Amino acid sequence: MQTITTKTDDPLIHRGASSHGANSERISIELQGLATQADETPLAAIGAKSINADDSHSSADAEPSSGPARKVSRLQSVIEIATLAGISFLNTMGSGILIAALPRIAQDLGLPQGLILWPAAVYALAAGCLLLIFGATADAIGTKLVWVTGAFLYTAFTLAIGFAQTGIQLILFRAFQGVAISMCLPTAVSLITNTFPKGKWRNTAFAMNGMGQPLGYALGLVLGGIFTDTVGWRWAYYMMTIISFCLSTAAIWSLPSVRRPSNKPWTRQLLEDIDWLGAIIMSAGLGLLFYVLATTSSSYTSIKSAPSIAILVVSLLLLGSFPFWMHYQTARGKPALIPNRLWSQASFRTVCIAVFFCWASLNGIEYFTTLYFQQVEGVSALQSSIRFLPHVVMGIATNIVTAYLVARVKIQYLAVVSALITMIAPPLMATVDIGENYWLAPFWALFLSPVNPDVLFTVSNLVISDAFPPEVQSLAGGVFNEVSQFGNSVGLAVTAAIAASITEHSASEREQDALMKGYRAAFWTIFAGTVVVVAVSAFGLRHGGFIGKKND
């Protein structure tokens, strides 16, 4: 096991395989949208040590972090990358299994209709609320300790889901799973940047981390259905438990112990070096907002209810107060979680905006294409999952190619060209006819849609991690993941509301025609989002050079 000491001067549906009726199918499709909010977000979640305003090595002044070099065997490097990517894989795989098997799970556990969406929703809510807290804790007491603890807890609660006997137990265990994964996500970027210096290995680590997500989700959908129709859905979670345990055990040896030198004991670091109030303000504000967006995604009229309005107002007040608190902390020379000055960096600001709209678009394409297959075309959930295979293959290929190109092509070219490719997908689905051949439009839409998100995963992680000094790399990864998750939530809520409203007011006699009108409106809205990504990337990254190159 190797220990790294960072130096302060070192410059991101399938219903149960057997059909359980139209209502179950509708529920499964709704669940896909909810689960995607938490899972299609690349591995790195908000959090980290607060940046002190007086620290001469804060992100405003520090040179881009290249990460400390260390001697490590090729085997250990490969295992570390596989371990971190493996948790990314399991994160999305678990939700894929849940979506595929939920109708059968609800039947077996007696899950009430009113709680049918909660096994997916609580996972996202728990993770989103605690990413800041665990990220800050990780930078104070050690990223490896927090990651390994979270991984073993994730293993335990995955096994617990397999043994759940009631619907309430399922919801609780899913919430605890979200807590556990929020301990792993913030530390992934820190572990990568503090293990691998700039260059091929770091680029590959980020790319493989991104590859685990689409692969895990797709495999979860398929395996969830297969297990449900054969040995039972519980065995899918038993299998996940075995994989998770192996990864967690391997991490004890493969992951580095990243420690920041300090004369303070870790208890004092927790109390004095973390902007706890800032973390609470941001965590509470985002958690409340994610809750409102989740309920709006399943029923657009819920936004008009008094509880939703009240929660939304409180959320916006909390989020609106965050910049003022950052200014106040900075002026006093106290730790500030995300100093306002970070947003003055053009590349940092640009990739955050691009990631927001990019993930909002990706989530919408996946969600409404699934609806098109099942609700309009009438294909089975398993057949719908199979139609997404080109999407997965292209996502994997894009990550491999990006790992090679990221140090050889300017970031503006990478971002703009990939965004132009993905921009083709929404119009293809917006103009598709009911009953049209799969290979003429849906295939190409699914094939092209993951290009920009997967390129941005690697590019954005590298840009954002470069904006922060080595000792706060969990925060660097956290900003990326929180922005992407926020984009997922907002994108799904807005497009779902538009589609539902237009469908409801459609004068079409056939249900499929009315649904398709709503879906087309959603796809055109998604297209507008991709246009924003192109414009923002072209303008905001015009002075951007190369990233991911090894320092001389």
* DSSP letters spanning 101-166: HHHHHHHHHT--GGGTTHHHHHHHHHHHHHHHHHHHHHHHH-HHHHHHHHHHHHHHHHHHHHH--S
CB–CB of 263/271 below 8 Å? no
For residue 97, what pLDDT is reported? Answer: 85
46: nearest Cα among 449, 512, 478, 476: 478
Query: pLDDT by residue (tens digit) across 287-318?
Result: 888 888 877 766 777 778 888 899 999 999 99
Bridge partner list, 52 = 335
Domains and CATH numbers, the chain: 3-9+12-43+74-540 (1.20.1250.20)
Calpha distance 397→390 (Å, rounded): 10
- Kindly state the average pLDDT of the residues 407-429: 91
Whether the Cβ atoms of residue 529 and residue 491 lie closer than 8 Å to each other: yes
Give residue 46's pLDDT: 33
> Angle, to 10 degrees, between the axis of helix 451-466 and the axis of helix 200-229?
130
Q: What is the SS3 assignment for 298?
A: helix
> Model's pTM, two decimal places?
0.76
Which has the minimum average pLDDT: 126-130, 291-295, 544-548? 544-548
486-507: per-residue pLDDT in tens?
Answer: 787 788 788 888 888 888 887 7
Distance (Å, whole) CA 415 – CA 544: 11
What integer pLDDT is reported at residue 342 of this predicted model? 74
Confidence of residue 59 (pLDDT cuts 50, 70, 90): very low
Provide the CA 536 distance to its chain's centre, in angstroms: 21
Rounded Cα distance, 336 and 135, in Å: 14
